[in-house]
Amino acid sequence: MTHRTDIAFPAEGGVTLRGWLYLPDGPGPHPAITMAHGYAGVKEFGLERFAELFTENGFVVLLHDHRGFGASDGLPRNDVDPWRQIADWRRAISFLESRPEVDADRIGLWGTSYAGGHAIVLGATDRRLRCVVAQVPTISGYEQGLRRVLPEAVGGLEEVFAEDERAQLRGEPPRTQVVVSDDPTVSAAYRTKDAIDFYLQPVPLGTWENQVTVRSTRAARMYEPGTWISRVSPTPLLLVVGEHDTITVTDLALAAYERALEPKHLALLPGGHFDPYLSGFKESSTAALDWFRRHLVLQRSLP
C-alpha cells in the first residue's frame, strides 16, 4: 500500500513548487527517488504508475511539477527553461533530504525525455545523488533540431525567435505556440500522432494546457545535456532508450551511452519515444526499479 500527499516547497524567486510525496509502508528512514516530467509535461502524464511501483517496493518518491506547469507556481506559465528547471530540481533534492522519512544518503533521480537530459546534468553535477535513471533522454537540442526542422524552414523559425525577442523588449509577454497539432498551418512543437495522443491524454480539468512559449523552442535547440554524460561517473547511470525514438532520437542516445563511463547500463526497449510510458511500461519501470534497488538498497546492505 502507498500513501500519497500533496506537498509544496520554496524555490528561488519566491516561487512555490508543488507535487506529490509517496510514502511506503513500514518504519523509515527509506531510500528515496525524485522524479519530474519532460518538455511541457505534468506529473499526471503517466508518471503516477512509476511512482506507485517504486513506492510499493519501499522507496519514498517525490514527484514535482516544473515551475510554470501543473500545480506549481511560476510566471510566465508554460515556459520551459532547462537551466531553471535543473536549479529547481536541486531544491527538490534538498526538500527530499529534509524529510524525516528519507535516508538522505540514499537518494536517486529519475527523469524522462527533456528531463532525462536534466537527469544527466544533475547526475554530473550533484553528488548527493547515489544513482540516476535517464529515460528516452534529450541528448542534443541542436542535433535533434537538424532531424526535425527542414533546412528551408530554419530561416523562418529564426525570424519567429527574433520577433518574439523584439516584442519582449516592447514590454509584451513571451509569445506562445501550441505543444501539439496536426494542422500544418498552426505552429506546434510536435506533430506526430503518438505525440498528439500522449499530450492530449485525459487529465483533470485545469491540469495542463496545449501551450508553450516560443522561446522554449529556442532554449531547447540550444540545450546540450549530452556533453555532461562522461562526467556522471562515478554516479551509476541507467539509460532507457527506445529502439525507434524519433523525438529524442535513438542513435544520439546510443552514441551518448558509449561516451558515458562506468558504472552504467543500457536498457534498449522496443518501440518509440512514448512507449516506455505505455506499452513498454513493464520493461522500462522494471529496469529503473532494478537499478534503484541495486544502488540504493543492495549496495547499502553489502559489507
Mind listing the pLDDT tens digit for each residue in 122-156? 999 999 999 999 999 999 999 999 988 888 989 99
Taking the alpha carbons at both ends of the chain, their separation in whole angstroms is 30
Quickly count helices (H) and strands (E) in the chain: 10, 11
The model's confidence at residue 1, banded by pLDDT at 50, 70 and 90, is low
Cα-based torsion angle of the residue sequence 219, 221, 222, 228 in order, rounded to the nearest 10 degrees: 110
Looking at the domain assignment, is residue 210 inside a domain?
no
Looking at the domain assignment, is residue 286 inside a domain?
yes
Classify residue 162 as exposed, middle or buried by CB count within 10 Å of its CB (0-12, 13-18, 19+).
exposed
The model's confidence at residue 28, banded by pLDDT at 50, 70 and 90, is confident
Q: Is the pLDDT of residue 301 over 70?
A: no
Looking at the domain assignment, is residue 176 inside a domain?
no
Mind listing the pLDDT tens digit for each residue in 164-186? 999 999 999 999 999 999 998 99
Least confident window among 135-139, 147-151, 215-219, 224-228? 147-151
What pLDDT, on a 0 to 100 scale, did the predictor assign at position 280?
A: 97
Q: Is the pLDDT of residue 5 over 90?
A: yes
What pLDDT, on a 0 to 100 scale, did the predictor assign at position 302?
A: 47
Q: Is the pLDDT of residue 204 over 70?
A: yes
Q: Is the pLDDT of residue 49 over 80?
A: yes
Looking at the domain assignment, is residue 203 inside a domain?
no
Looking at the domain assignment, is residue 174 inside a domain?
no
Q: Is the pLDDT of residue 105 over 70?
A: yes
Looking at the domain assignment, is residue 168 inside a domain?
no
Residue 75 domain boundaries: 2-144+224-301
List the CATH number of the domain containing 34. 3.40.50.1820
Closest to 249 (Cα-Cα) out of 147, 142, 153: 147
The model's confidence at residue 303, banded by pLDDT at 50, 70 and 90, is very low
Q: Which residues pair with 136 in a beta bridge?
A: none
Alpha carbon of residue 220 to chain centroid: 13
Please give the mean pLDDT across all residues of the chain: 96
What pLDDT, on a 0 to 100 scale, did the predictor assign at position 148?
A: 84
Contact 136, 273 (CB under 8 A): yes
- Tally of domains in the chain: 1
Mean pLDDT, range 229-254, rounded to an integer: 98
Percent of the chain with pLDDT over 70: 98
Mean pLDDT, range 77-88, rounded to an integer: 98
Mean pLDDT, range 199-203, rounded to an integer: 96
Looking at the domain assignment, is residue 283 inside a domain?
yes
